[in-house]
A and B are shown apart, each in its own frame.
Chain A
Amino acid sequence: MSEDTRADPEALLRVAAREGRGRLKVYLGAAPGVGKTYKMLGDAATLRDDGADVVIGIVETHSRNETEAKAQGFTVIPRKEVAWQGGVLGEMDIDAILARHPALVLVDELAHTNAPGSRHDKRWQDVEEILAAGIDVWSTLNIQHLESLNDVVASFTKVRVRETLPDRLLDEAEIEIVDLPPDELIERLRHGKVYIPEEATRALGHFFSKSNLSALRELTLRRAAQTVDAQMLDYLRAHALAGSWAAGERLVVAVSELPGADGLVRATKRLADALRAPWTAVHIETPRSARLGPTDNARLAANLSLAAQLGAQVASVPGESAREGLKRFITDVRATQVILGKSTRSWWFELRHGSVVDRLVRETPGVAVHVLPLAEAPAPTDSPPRRPGRWGPPLGHAVSLALVAAVTLAGISVSAFGTVTNIALLYLLPVLFAATRYGLATGLVAGLASSLAYNFFFIPPTYTLTIQDPQNIISVLVLIGVAVVASSLAARVREQAMMAQHSARQNAALAGFARLLTAVRSNGELGQLLCAEVVRLFDARAVFLTLQGDTLALLAANPPEDSLQTLEHAAARWAFDHNLPAGRGSDTLTASEWLFHPIAAGGKVRAVVGLARPEAPAPLRPDQLPMLLSLFDQAGMALERIALEADMAVVTRLEERDRLRSALLASVSHDLRTPLTTIVATLAAMAPASDEQAVQLADARAEAERLQRFFANLLDIARIEAGSLRQATEPVDIADAVASAVHDLRRALAGRPIRLDVSPELPFVLVDPQLFHHCLINLIENAAKYGNPDSPITIAAHRGWQGLTLHVIDEGPGLPPGEETRVFDNFTRIAGSDRTGGTGLGLAIVRGFAEAMGLAVSAANRSDASGADFALHFDEAHLKRSAA
């Protein structure tokens, strides 16, 4: 029960992540023309008229009069002109918006694709950056642009939109539905009130059929309701309110390079949303996937990044076969539902390999397995790459044929001495050798040659290729079968060995790098090392940048590089600031030739590494990413260590300084105290010869004692300012402490009446007894000094609403108005109070000690009579209720 009502940390995180960011509001419509922009402008105008700082980032009015009228009166951020294929496109100027930093910016068409060369490919990425800067954004969206609904919409409208938007954006947004019944929309369309781009007119004619519009409208309403539900659930979970949600569901979708796997990912997203369950897209790296061609690899990467965009966790795990790897992964992540695509493989393939689905269902009980057809028409795949020696190397054939001949010769010479029955067994030798050494083809050649030779030389009738005895047919078949089995077993062993070698090479590279890192002492050294490693492992150019002051500086490069272009530098900076990759092959600033990856450790981005491979299509192949990230993880840890070492060096220097200061304090306190003690004690012991001498002695002694107090106070102040107050907190009875202080001051108080109002039932306070004692002494001395002579001093302690307060109250002139806080400053003495002979340090010591113990001090004038009221406040954390 208590389990269920505890705040879900992930939900809390999601709610917290929204704090500090700008908020996104999306005007969601079923189709163009429902009036989203119009409604958005209207709402924004109301807000603007109330005094809010609202600007237009970009709004398409499509020259519609009503909309243009609504757009009047807003500040409009001028568009940025981007040259594109001879023309000029006006795109939203994100930098101008960030610089202007309004409270709210209106950004039409959230799913828009930016002109090439813009900072981000998509407008929603611009919006995310604006949100991250703490600016609220209102935007508009048509339902068919939503990633997860893309194929659903396409299935009934027959129009597939290219501009899509990740669902998570909508999940975090406030949604305002702009709804228009289909009949009215068709009416508006008929009156030319809906803007449709020229080139899309024909397609959209079909799009705007009544049945399509109804379906889209239903989809819109359902999707909006779902988002609101999810947000409500996050709220409920974050605040640990009891609610009902499906607990513990976890979905896994197996993603391959096959065309149509993207549909599988989208379907899983919908299922996960309906179940409100987390989901993971996993790719199993089998020996086969290591041989994929560039087209397949690109499609695999696209499928995985689609999953990531739709909010999935993405994993790539190795496995001997897809089934084995998937089975292990499902168990590891405790998945409850698995989504697989059913490829349209031939029945022959399944007969040989068994159906992956059937076996998975059998071997993972308790896991629901969903099987979806991989529907799309086969896209071009790379032709199966030729394995070296698919048809066997000529040398292999020659060697195996020679072996067959040798065996035949041996057989003939042996049979010359008598009949040998099992001469066929001899032929297993060349077949096994050829199959395991050179693969299936050579094995088959050897098998065929062996059976022919056996037949020709040994099977009666000898020296013909006819077979009379059916038993001998079996011998031939066995020889061929052995070749097939042995070669496939050997091939599998070879592949596993290759994979093991591959990962061993990677591990060795990482281990070697880690070993080198331990010796690194500066960021520059680390940069050199990392760049060299990137060059070696990825065959790419590498640069390493870290923050120096406020700017990113190029610390290392391999091959040497002096500086980066402006665009490159901007991409590096963006990667550093956002802790995301930027540049070529990423989502951001793709025009940059370099790809920049941040290196983070200890929750902080510490450096950026740039990679470039001018001759290759991308700086990095998708399968190289995990290796690169492990490399960066290690580099990140090393950077963190270097930073810590630097901090430590500073701390050590400070500690050394503090140690010296303490030593000085100790020696000064001893060297001054001893002579003063002698002087005071000697003066006290002297017997005056006359009354005049008695007065002089008394004066001398009083002055010496004052000097003593002054030095004691100076030492206390020095200790406070050196921060070298050592504390031993323990429960202290306030009544005890007050009694001790009053006792120690009995001579200074000289019969001054002390009124005590300290209940013996108060809770104990948690303080350092010695420091607290000194606070009390100084406060009481202060009251005695500044109060009227012979007036009573009141010491009162009361339990308050929050904690406990101890007052030391005098009767006297009180504090000059406005000086209440200044009295705690060093060397502050109240004007015209020189006669008291104080050092002006007593109250500063009180404040220093009190603050060191975590107590608050305050001074005020009494409200009931003339006089000052000094108070020490103990909050609840400083109280300990007695156990008795």
Chain B
Amino acid sequence: MSATLLVVDDETAIRRLLAASLARVGYKAIEAGDARGALAALAIDKPALVLLDLGLPDRDGLELIPLLKAGGAAVLVISARDATEQKVAALDLGADDYVTKPFDSEEVLARIRTALRHRLAAATEAPLVEIGDVAIDLAARLVRKGGAEVHLTPKEYDLLAQLASHPGKVLTHAHLLRQVWGPGHEHDIEYLRVAARGIRKKVEDDPSRPLILRNEPGVGYRLVPREIPQADRSSREK
């Protein structure tokens, strides 16, 4: 796999480091030190994914996100800003994921893989999402666990389907509430908590150690494809 990735960061050391790790696993990495360079690279090299730092010298990284998305790239934000509002803002602007500095290279690589796959999945509109023994059939509106049908309430299903159509991506509370409960319910986080509890009870092996539906404190939920735990295992074996 030789996808082209763009690393945007004003710190040369970080940029070089990230580029080196990416090259090591076979990606083609290009670098940009500011927003202008990033937009130029977007037009010329058509990267599949951008690793974006928010603190750029010429422009706020948040402003770049919609432009990069419009250019067809997946966006993974890597920033020292760890305030919840920053994460939510980036995700709501269309970023696929968010990693805070200091980061773990393995974690970043795993997130890149998920985001790239999600980009492909979004292109093909895969109607069936499988995570372990759980299968979500978006076309038939059916959920199976170990072959047996799982009975979800309509809201639980809608929530799971939302997450399943963006596997691995964090969807913010406000986004989920708007999509599932409708506009005007963006702040009724309690609904979300109740539905998430219901889904876990029916789908997870151990609802108190969820492997499928994961909470990002203060930000949102994500459906974890099987790959991340596998990546963790492989990194530990190295």
Chain A residues with CB under 8 Å of chain B are 669-670, 673-678, 680-682, 684-685, 708, 726, 728, 730-733, 735-740, 742-743, 746, 756, 758, 760, 764, 768-770, 772-773, 880, 882-884
What residues of chain A lie closer than 8 Å to B207, measured between beta carbons? 735, 760
Interface of B is mostly: helix
Interface residues of B in 155-170 (CB under 8 A from A): none
Q: Are B217 and A684 in contact (CB under 8 A)?
A: no
Q: Are B209 and A678 in contact (CB under 8 A)?
A: no
What residues of chain B lie closer than 8 Å to A740, measured between beta carbons? 214-217
A-B contacts besides A681-B102, A736-B193, 18 pairs, CB < 8 Å: A673-B102, A676-B102, A677-B101, A677-B102, A677-B103, A681-B17, A685-B20, A728-B84, A728-B218, A731-B193, A733-B196, A735-B197, A735-B207, A739-B208, A740-B216, A742-B209, A772-B217, A773-B218
Q: Are A673 and B214 in contact (CB under 8 A)?
A: no
What residues of chain B lie closer than 8 Å to A732, measured between beta carbons? 193, 217
What residues of chain B lie closer than 8 Å to A768, measured between beta carbons? 218
Q: Are A678 and B17 in contact (CB under 8 A)?
A: yes
* Distance, CA A731 to CA B207, complexed state (A): 19
Contact of B103 among A681, A685, A883, A884 (CB under 8 A): A681
Q: Are B201 and A760 in contact (CB under 8 A)?
A: yes
Interface residues of B in 92-123 (CB under 8 A from A): 101-105
What residues of chain A lie closer than 8 Å to B193, measured between beta carbons? 731-733, 736, 764, 882
Query: B70 in the interface, Cβ–Cβ < 8 Å?
Result: no
| Distance between B200 CB and nearest chain A CB, rounded to angstroms | 8
| Distance between B159 CB and nearest chain A CB, rounded to angstroms | 13
| Distance between B176 CB and nearest chain A CB, rounded to angstroms | 13
Contact of B105 among A685, A738, A742 (CB under 8 A): A685
Query: B4 in the interface, Cβ–Cβ < 8 Å?
Result: no
Chain B residues with CB under 8 Å of chain A are 11, 13-14, 17, 20-21, 24, 55, 80, 83-85, 101-105, 173, 189-191, 193-194, 196-198, 200-201, 207-210, 214-218, 232
Would you give 5 A-B contacts (Cβ < 8 Å), ordered by A? Answer: A676-B102, A733-B193, A733-B215, A769-B84, A884-B198
Question: Which single residue of chain B is at the shortest CB-CB distance from A742?
Answer: B209
What residues of chain B lie closer than 8 Å to A756, measured between beta carbons? 208-209
Q: Are B17 and A682 in contact (CB under 8 A)?
A: yes
What residues of chain A lie closer than 8 Å to B216, measured between beta carbons? 740
Question: Which single residue of chain A is at the shortest CB-CB distance from B195?
Answer: A884
* Distance, CA A861 to CA B62, complexed state (A): 48
Contact of A770 among B24, B84, B197, B200 (CB under 8 A): B84
Q: Are A884 and B208 in contact (CB under 8 A)?
A: no
* Distance, CA A732 to CA B219, complexed state (A): 12
| Distance between B52 CB and nearest chain A CB, rounded to angstroms | 15
What residues of chain A lie closer than 8 Å to B218, measured between beta carbons? 728, 730, 768-770, 773
What residues of chain A lie closer than 8 Å to B197, measured between beta carbons? 733, 735, 760, 882
Q: Are B189 and A739 in contact (CB under 8 A)?
A: no
* Distance, CA A756 to CA B103, complexed state (A): 28
Q: Are B210 and A739 in contact (CB under 8 A)?
A: yes
Asked whether A883 and B217 contact (CB < 8 A) given A758-B208, A760-B208, the answer is no
Question: Which single residue of chain A is at the shortest CB-CB distance from B201?
Answer: A760
Question: Which single residue of chain A is at the shortest CB-CB distance from B208?
Answer: A756
What residues of chain A lie closer than 8 Å to B232, measured between beta carbons? 746
Q: Are A685 and B17 in contact (CB under 8 A)?
A: yes
* Distance, CA A598 to CA B125, complexed state (A): 79
* Distance, CA A760 to CA B216, complexed state (A): 18
Q: Are A674 and B14 in contact (CB under 8 A)?
A: yes
| Distance between B208 CB and nearest chain A CB, rounded to angstroms | 5
* Distance, CA A739 to CA B207, complexed state (A): 9
What residues of chain A lie closer than 8 Å to B201, measured between beta carbons? 760
Question: Which single residue of chain A is at the shortest CB-CB distance from B84?
Answer: A770
Question: Which single residue of chain B is at the shortest CB-CB distance from A758?
Answer: B208
| Distance between A55 CB and nearest chain B CB, rounded to angstroms | 63
| Distance between A663 CB and nearest chain B CB, rounded to angstroms | 14
* Distance, CA A677 to CA B16, complexed state (A): 13
Q: Are A674 and B209 in contact (CB under 8 A)?
A: no
* Distance, CA A153 to CA B108, complexed state (A): 98
Q: Are A731 and B21 in contact (CB under 8 A)?
A: no
* Distance, CA A676 to CA B13, complexed state (A): 11
| Distance between B79 CB and nearest chain A CB, rounded to angstroms | 10
Top-3 shortest CB links A-B: A769-B218, A677-B102, A773-B217
* Distance, CA A880 to CA B102, complexed state (A): 35
Contact of B80 among A673, A735, A764, A772 (CB under 8 A): A673
Contact of A680 among B83, B102, B173, B208 (CB under 8 A): B102
* Distance, CA A849 to CA B216, complexed state (A): 19
Question: Which single residue of chain B is at the shortest CB-CB distance from A674?
Answer: B11
What residues of chain B lie closer than 8 Å to A678, measured between beta carbons? 11, 13-14, 17
Asked whether A730 and B189 contact (CB < 8 A) given A739-B210, A758-B208, the answer is yes
* Distance, CA A675 to CA B12, complexed state (A): 11
Question: Which single residue of chain B is at the shortest CB-CB distance from A883?
Answer: B190
| Distance between A720 CB and nearest chain B CB, rounded to angstroms | 15
* Distance, CA A640 to CA B124, complexed state (A): 69
* Distance, CA A732 to CA B196, complexed state (A): 11
* Distance, CA A880 to CA B189, complexed state (A): 12
| Distance between B181 CB and nearest chain A CB, rounded to angstroms | 12
* Distance, CA A728 to CA B173, complexed state (A): 13
| Distance between B167 CB and nearest chain A CB, rounded to angstroms | 17
What residues of chain A lie closer than 8 Å to B55, measured between beta carbons? 670
Question: Which single residue of chain A is at the shortest CB-CB distance from B209?
Answer: A739
| Distance between B154 CB and nearest chain A CB, rounded to angstroms | 13
Asked whether A674 and B80 contact (CB < 8 A) given A736-B215, A739-B208, A740-B216, the answer is yes
Kindly name the residue among A669, A681, A880, A882 whose own CB sees the greatest number of chain B CB atoms within 10 A.
A681
Question: Which single residue of chain B is at the shortest CB-CB distance from A773?
Answer: B217
Q: Are A685 and B21 in contact (CB under 8 A)?
A: yes
What residues of chain A lie closer than 8 Å to B84, measured between beta carbons? 728, 769-770
| Distance between B21 CB and nearest chain A CB, rounded to angstroms | 6
What residues of chain A lie closer than 8 Å to B214, measured between beta carbons? 739-740, 743
* Distance, CA A684 to CA B105, complexed state (A): 8
| Distance between A776 CB and nearest chain B CB, rounded to angstroms | 9
What residues of chain B lie closer than 8 Å to A684, measured between beta carbons? 104-105
Question: Which single residue of chain A is at the shortest CB-CB distance from B13?
Answer: A678
Kindly name the residue among A733, A736, A758 whose own CB sees the greatest number of chain B CB atoms within 10 A.
A736
Question: Which single residue of chain B is at the shortest CB-CB distance from A684?
Answer: B105
What residues of chain B lie closer than 8 Å to A880, measured between beta carbons? 190
Question: Which single residue of chain B is at the shortest CB-CB distance from A666?
Answer: B81
* Distance, CA A769 to CA B84, complexed state (A): 9
| Distance between B139 CB and nearest chain A CB, rounded to angstroms | 28
Q: Are B190 and A674 in contact (CB under 8 A)?
A: no
| Distance between A194 CB and nearest chain B CB, rounded to angstroms | 79
What residues of chain B lie closer than 8 Å to A677, measured between beta carbons? 14, 80, 101-103
What residues of chain A lie closer than 8 Å to B191, measured between beta carbons? 883
* Distance, CA A768 to CA B218, complexed state (A): 7
Contact of B190 among A728, A737, A742, A764 (CB under 8 A): A764
What residues of chain B lie closer than 8 Å to A769, measured between beta carbons? 84, 217-218
* Distance, CA A259 to CA B231, complexed state (A): 104
What residues of chain B lie closer than 8 Å to A739, measured between beta carbons? 208-210, 214-215
Q: Are B217 and A737 in contact (CB under 8 A)?
A: yes
Question: Which single residue of chain A is at the shortest CB-CB distance from B10?
Answer: A674
| Distance between A385 CB and nearest chain B CB, rounded to angstroms | 74
What residues of chain A lie closer than 8 Å to B80, measured between beta carbons? 669-670, 673-674, 677
* Distance, CA A733 to CA B197, complexed state (A): 8
Q: Are A737 and B215 in contact (CB under 8 A)?
A: yes
| Distance between B3 CB and nearest chain A CB, rounded to angstroms | 20
| Distance between B19 CB and nearest chain A CB, rounded to angstroms | 11
Kindly name the residue among B55, B80, B198 whose own CB sees the greatest number of chain A CB atoms within 10 A.
B80
Contact of A738 among B17, B85, B189, B208 (CB under 8 A): B208
Q: Are B105 and A708 in contact (CB under 8 A)?
A: no
| Distance between A262 CB and nearest chain B CB, rounded to angstroms | 66
What residues of chain A lie closer than 8 Å to B105, measured between beta carbons? 681, 684-685
* Distance, CA A684 to CA B11, complexed state (A): 18
What residues of chain A lie closer than 8 Å to B189, measured between beta carbons? 730-731
| Distance between B115 CB and nearest chain A CB, rounded to angstroms | 19
| Distance between A487 CB and nearest chain B CB, rounded to angstroms | 76
Q: Are B101 and A673 in contact (CB under 8 A)?
A: yes
